[in-house]
Copies of this chain bind each other. A is one copy, B any other.
Amino acid sequence: MDKRKMKYLPHKTIERLSQYRRALLLCQANGKTHIFSHEIATIQHITAVQVRRDIMLIGYTGTLRKGYNIADMISLIGKILDSEKVQNIAIIGMGNLGVAITKYFSGKRTKLEIAAAFDVNPVKIGKKYSGVECYHINQIIKIIKEKDISIGIITVPSTETIIIKNILVKSGIKGILNYTPKPVNVPDDVYLEEYDMTTSLEKVAFFVKMH
């Protein structure tokens, strides 16, 4: 698939591709070789049209009455989502959430690797969390360069969010995933994704109340 086109894939399609891939890997592990759009839709709890539309956007075509070749689709999604070389990630703030995330991601995806953790608490410095070494935050610029880290996950207390964001931007990081409730802004060449758990929970509570 053409690189120029990929840039223009809708954000929501990118998200779904990530999910399709994991679903397809599961199907493949169960010995399936082909799959219909409506089967993917059922797994993901979305509509078959949406699945076909996403597949159209990435330029793949299935075979009529046989569906999509699972192996081919996995490989194509990989070509779209994955970088050729490993993308290294830093996680900043090894508290409850930071440790949980590190454990969750470490050694899972081959093309994404948590390469370093950072904290200020002396108890944590030098320790390894699921194989990831924790460094003092004042080492971060050096380590990011050394380990060619391009993505940062922020899990520090929200009072520290801006400081950490600034350090990350300064050290040339190109993507930030901010899990603190303090919104940040970044230069145009840095991609930012924020998730606020309190917001999600309050949203659920609102719609429950409204019933």
Q: Which residues of A contact B (CB under 8 A)?
A: 6-7, 11, 14-15, 18-19, 22, 43-45, 80-83, 87, 89, 96-97, 99-101, 103-105, 108-109, 111-112, 150-151, 153, 174-177, 181, 183-185, 189, 191, 193, 195-211
Closest Cβ of chain B: how far from A165's Cβ, in Å?
A: 11
Quick check: B96 and A18 within 8 Å, CB to CB?
no
A83 to B206, CA, bound (A): 8
Quick check: A204 and B183 within 8 Å, CB to CB?
no
Quick check: B204 and A193 within 8 Å, CB to CB?
yes
Quick check: A112 and B202 within 8 Å, CB to CB?
yes
Answer whether A185 and B45 are a contact pair too, CB < 8 Å, given A18-B198, A177-B200, A204-B193: yes
Quick check: A211 and B19 within 8 Å, CB to CB?
no
A79 to B118, CA, bound (A): 40
A189 to B181, CA, bound (A): 29
A196 to B12, CA, bound (A): 13
Q: Which of B82, B197, B206 contacts A81 (CB 8 A)?
A: B206
A16 to B102, CA, bound (A): 29
Quick check: A175 and B19 within 8 Å, CB to CB?
no
